Structure 1
Amino acid sequence: MKKLLVIGLLTLFITPFAHAQFGVKGGLNVAELTGRDGESASYKAFYHVGVFYQAHLLGPLSIQPEVQYSLQGGNLKSAFTNYDSQLHYLTVPILAKLTVGPVFVEGGPQFGVLLNADQSGNMQVGLAEDGTPAYGNVSRPATGSFKRGDFSLVGGAGLKLASNFSLGARLVAGLNDINDVQNLSGINDPRLQNRVYQVYAAFQFGGGK
C-alpha cells in the first residue's frame, strides 16, 4: 500500500512536466526610462535573447519560467541634457500561460539583475567653480547610478503558428525605483523606472502542444 502511495505521489508530481518543453527566443525591445521630473523620456530600440521552459499543468494552462539577457534603457532630454542610457539586465520572468487554439495570453512577475550600464550624450559632469551644474558631451560607465535589482510585471499575447514556432508581444512594466544616484541636484528626481515593449519569436524543441 505504501509503495502504491509513493508511486501515485511521484506520478502526480512528474505528470505536469511530462509535456514540458525547452525553447529559445529573441526579439526587439522598445524601452524607455520613466518617472524623472524635469526630463522628457523617449523610447530607444534594443533587443533581448533567452531560453524558456514551458511546463503544461492542466488543460490549456502552463507555467513558463525564462532566463533572458535584456538590453534596455532609453533617452532622457531636458533644456540642458540629451543622453541615452543602456542597461544590461539578466531577467527571469515566471509566467502563467493560457493557450486556446493558436492564441495564447501570458502574465506574471519578472525579476531582473543589472549586469552593467552605460550612458552617452550631453549630461551633467560636475559643478563649476561657482557651484552651478557643468555639462559636457561624454560616454561613461554608469552601473553605480542604478540599483542592481529590478522588479516588473509582464503581460502579453501571441500566436502559435506551428507546433514549434510562435510569435508574441509583451509589456514589461517596472515597479520599483532603479535610480541610485546619490548626488542629485537641479532637475534630477530620485525616481526612475523601466518600461519595455517586446516583440519576439520563439522556437520550442520536441513535439509541440
Structure 2
Amino acid sequence: MKKIFFLAIGLLVAGSVSAQRYYHSPRNDRSGDNNSDFYQPTVGFEVGVNVSNSVSSYNSNYSTGGLAGLNAGITFNLPLIYPLSFAPEVLYSQKGYTAATQDGNFTQRTDFIDIPLLAKFKVGPAFNFYIGPQLSYLLSTTNTYNNGFTISSEQYYENNNGHKSFLDGVIGVSFDINRSVDLHARYTIDMQQTDNYGNTYVPDYRNQVWQFGLGFKF
C-alpha cells in the first residue's frame, strides 16, 4: 500500500515538472492560445488508483488498514468564466478497508458509481484546483473473513441502513502535462456515516479515499 502511495506521489511530481517545462518552453509559450483554449468545452476519460480506508463517526481511536482499488470513467469540462469551470464526472470506483478483529482479518470492498460535481479553478499555466460535492451510488459490497484457517465471503447490495446513495466531499489538484493529458490527486470523504448500526465486523464509519490518476481529454 505504501509503495502505491509513494509511486503515485512520484508520478504527480514528475508530471508537474514535465508540465512546467512544456508550458514554459519557448515554442510553447503562447499565453494567448492558452487563454482561448480555456473556453473550449472538453470531454474525456480518466483512470487511476484508489487508496481507501475508513474513519469512525464517533471514535477518534478507531483505525483501519488501507485497500487499493480502481477508479475509471468519463469526465467533462464546461468553462464558465476565467478561471472557473464546471467539471462533472461519472466514475466507477472501488473503495473499502481492512481490519484486524478478535476473530481474524476482515476486508470490506465496495463498488460505487461516483458523480463528482466539481468547481475547477485554473490557478497557473499547468495547475488546477478542484472542490465540490460528490454523489455516490452503492453497487455492491463484499465482506471477506479470514480466521487463519478458513476464508468466507458474502456479498450484498445495500448497507445496513438500507441506503444506496451517499453524499461526499471532494478536494484535489491536477497538473496538465499537455493539452490532452493531466495527472491528478484527490481526497474524498463521506459527509454522512455509512452505517448507523456498527458492530465488530461492520463498524459505524465513513469512507475516505485518496485518488491518483491520469486524465485524457478529446
TM-score, structure 2 normalization:
0.73
State the 1:138 CA deviation: 1.2
Structure 1 gaps of 5+ residues are: 1-16, 124-135
Q: Structure 1 residues 57, 112: CA separation in 2 closer, same or farther (over 3 Å shift)? A: same
Which of 169, 176, 188 is the matching residue for 2:185? Answer: 169
Larger strand share, 1 or 2: 1
Q: Indicate if the aligned counterparts of 1:27 and 1:48 stay in contact, CA closer than 8 A.
A: yes
> What is the rounded CA distance, in whole Å, between the counterparts of 2:155 and 2:73 in structure 1?
25
Contact 1:102 1:160 in 2 (8 A): yes
The CA deviation at 1:192 is 1.4
- Alignment equivalent of 1:61, drawn from 84, 87, 99: 84
Q: How far apart, CA to CA, are the structure 2 residues paired with 1:144 and 1:106? A: 29
Q: Take 1:137 and 1:197, find their aligned partners in 2: how far apart are those partners?
A: 28
Q: CA RMSD in A?
A: 2.5
Rounded to whole Å, the distance in 2 between the matches of 1:163 and 1:65 is: 19
**Structure 2 residue ranges without an equivalent (≥5):** 1-37
Question: Is the CA contact 2:65–2:97 (under 8 Å) kept in the aligned structure 1?
Answer: yes
| Cα pair distance change 1:139/1:180, threshold 3 Å | farther
Matches within 5 A, 1:9-88: 19-35=40-56, 40-88=63-111
Matched, 1:141 2:164: no
Contact 1:39 1:77 in 2 (8 A): no
Read off the aligned partner of 1:141 and give its amino acid letter: Q
Q: Distance in 2 between matches of 1:26 and 1:69?
A: 10
Aligned equivalents of 1:94, 1:193: Cα separation in 2: 20
With over 3 angstroms needed to count, the CA separation of the structure-2 counterparts of 1:39 and 1:155, relative to structure 1, is closer
Measured against aligned partners, the alpha-carbon deviations of 1:95-128 in whole angstroms (never above 9, x if no partner) come to 01111210111010001000111111248xxxxx
> Deviation at 1:178?
1.3
Q: Is the 8 A contact 2:54 2:63 kept in 1?
A: no
Secondary structure in structure 2 of the residue aligned to 1:178:
coil
Q: Say how many residue pairs are matched.
A: 175
- Matches of 1:56 and 1:44, distance apart in 2: 35
Are the aligned partners of 1:103 and 1:157 in contact in 2 as well (CA < 8 Å)? yes
- Give SS of 1:41's match: coil
Contact 1:86 1:118 (C-alpha < 8 Å) held by counterparts: yes
- Counterpart among 127, 139, 146 of residue 115 in structure 1: 139
Name 2:33's counterpart in structure 1: none
TM-score, normalised by the number of residues in structure 1: 0.76
Between the aligned partners of 2:201 and 2:190, the Cα distance in structure 1 is 19
Flag the structure with larger Rg.
Answer: 1
Task: Output the CA distance in 2 between the equivalents of 1:47 and 1:194.
Answer: 15
* C-alpha displacement of 1:53: 0.9
Query: Of Structure 1 and Structure 2, which has the larger fraction of its residues in helix?
Result: 2
* Structure 2 residue aligned with 1:133: none
